[in-house]
Chains A and B, each alone.
Chain A
């Protein structure tokens, strides 16, 4: 939700937190001694197992909504107020007092964080034969980072890969259904974003299952000349459902595979939009360039590795220090407890 408020390229940035957050961000949450929470709400995707959430920290919580404070996590210092106003006071006071911080302790903390970071928890196996979804987002980022770009998403694996691999530098550039998790959000959201920013590049990073839920809004985009780019990471699965079935239900992929999908290029053409299909990693760059250059709405069918899973992952019912990595040392079937199966 807050991606872009702090630039992802900054060395002080640890990456996204929570269920699919980075190793360093989650371990730092677990081991910190003072947590300064500003405008976030300790939701279950962030905290993991509540009774093991950041056990040794004093927590400060700044929020404009008093009902969000002490709701999930008991905090030591609640501050009700607008984030901007409180941050302004904090910056002023910090400058005024110029407090003597424990430089030695902070240096040791950063050393520890760098060790966690060295784990490279977002690493994935690249391939010359098949497009890895993470690679597709890295390439999309390369071609769009120097443009005035807005990103929306649908919900699922592609959404998490977008959050992990698209490096947001500015606020208001990341439009995703964070709380409700609404599949079908991204396409109509991109219509709204493009209308507000007619000269900007607006890309919906989508999954093929999500995007079919609100696909009819392509017709709206065409009617109002809104050149949105629907960048579908097509793995033919409801990927996050499949990943959970792999983790929790013995790989029995009950109804998470789409037997019949439309031809997305023809579908684009039927809407009088522009369709592109890409199945080969070698062609990806040129086709992304084509997508950006076409002055029409585009449906880009990016056929990706159907077996790829989204890591790191804190399995449901587990704590931040029980995260799974891509080349999981822990066998995934053993990672979720019986109680964890009950959680979502």
Chain B
């Protein structure tokens, strides 16, 4: 348990999650985080894009070619709205991303403040999950949960919206030992009876066909190796979307 600012927690959490690169664009509502980045240069490398949409697509390319979570840092208002196309894209194609957005200070939220937008409202339908962190005590768990949610189950983009006063606030940081979420338990193992039934259906087939998609790629390299093995074993044909 170490005391630090919210902005420092963001960098700590990214480093603890093994993030090596973050794509982003600075602005007023994320300056404390950019300052923390500046002061810890070797921990996470920031790649300055030219438009926030580019940051999200770059993070998507990064995630899809490595299997890791892609990471983005943008400011409030236009920074967040420019990221929306990329978020929607990542949601459609099941790409794991954590997108950190700056927000106006909590006391200005709802005031039509400069570069204010309702980021969690706007991104609710185009993210797998999103957070507006209004209390410094919630920040460490929100950041780590975001990575867990982005990468597990059907992968997708997660937004963490952090008001500027929370970035300045001080609090205790530690990496949560385990993730406990009441309502989120993706089912990883298939029902053995149904898998048995599937094998029976496949064995009895006269004109069988594998139709396989991005889920096999998302599941990791082993899944592709297993698919190749199953197709060879069965001798069935395999087209793909």
Contacts and interface: CB of A to CB of B under 8 A. Distances in A.
Interface string B194-231: 11111111111111111111111111111110111111
Interface stretch (B1-9, B33-41, B50-58, B136-144): B50-58
B241 A17 contact: yes
Interface string A67-89: 01000000011111111111111
Interface in A1-44: 1-7, 10, 12-18, 21-22, 24-26, 28-29, 31-41, 43
Interface stretch (B88-96, B100-108, B169-177): B88-96
B49 A64 contact: no
Contacts of B121: none
A94 B230 contact: yes
Interface stretch (A212-220, A274-282, A295-303): A212-220
B58 A189 contact: yes
A109 B207 contact: yes
B79 interface: no
Interface in A284-336: none
A262 interface: no
Given A15-B239, A37-B212, A58-B201, A84 B233 contact: no
A211 to B, nearest CB: 12
Given A6-B231, A82-B219, A109-B206, A220 B211 contact: no
A118 interface: no
B84 to A, nearest CB: 11
A112 B206 CA distance: 12
A193 B62 contact: yes
B43 interface: no
Contact of B214 (A150, A178, A197): A178
Interface stretch (B10-18, B111-119, B159-167, B182-190): B182-190
A139 B195 CA distance: 43
Contact of B54 (A25, A32, A81, A216): A216
A89 B201 contact: no
A40 B213 contact: yes
Contact of B192 (A35, A89, A112, A195): A89
Nearest to B215: A39
B233 A91 contact: yes
Contacts of B134: none
Interface stretch (A169-177, A243-251, A253-261): A169-177
Interface residues of B, number: 86
B231 to A, nearest CB: 6
Nearest to A228: B61
B147 interface: no
Interface stretch (A99-107, A127-135, A233-241): A99-107
A208 interface: no
A303 B208 CA distance: 42
Nearest to B229: A91
A340 interface: no
Contact of A219 (B21, B50, B209, B210): B50
B125 interface: no
Nearest to B190: A81
Contacts of A57: 209
A172 B66 contact: yes
Contacts of A31: 207
A55 interface: no
B207 A40 contact: no
Given A15-B239, A217-B51, 10 more contacts: A12-B236, A79-B190, A89-B190, A105-B205, A179-B89, A184-B57, A191-B49, A196-B66, A214-B51, A220-B49
Interface of B: 21, 23, 47-51, 53-68, 70, 85-86, 88-89, 92-93, 153-154, 186-192, 194-224, 226-241
25 contacts: A2-B216, A5-B224, A12-B238, A16-B240, A34-B205, A34-B209, A38-B211, A38-B227, A40-B240, A46-B211, A76-B201, A79-B191, A91-B233, A93-B199, A101-B205, A102-B206, A112-B207, A172-B221, A178-B214, A192-B61, A214-B53, A216-B54, A217-B58, A220-B47, A220-B50
